[in-house]
Amino acid sequence: MPNKPVITITAGQLQENAGSYELQAGPAIPVNGLSTGEIQGGPSQPVYIVTAAQIAAGWPIQQGPAVPMQTITGRDITKGPAIPIYLVSGSL
């Protein structure tokens, strides 16, 4: 499965902190953050990495296998909200 191209959004970029990105409601998607490998075509999806503290405070994590994602800059960015993710392994 090719890596999904993403761009990481910081807390300061979220609308709740006067930024321009809305955060999608719902559980955090488990992710393997990769730095090499085949990458899907298309624009980069904005994602927000949910912290361990947010998870400890009750943020739910989606059940299922971790999705391979890779930070890709220089592409268009998908319009819409940032998707909450939880890093199972690796980094973005």
Tell me the residue ranges of DSSP E strands in 1-92: 4-8, 29-34, 45-49, 67-71, 83-90
* Contact predicate 86/29, CB 8 Å: yes
Q: How confident is the model at residue 1 (pLDDT cuts 50, 70, 90)?
A: confident
Domain spans, the chain: 4-90
pLDDT one-digit tens code per residue, 29-76? 999 999 999 999 999 999 999 999 999 999 999 999 999 999 999 999
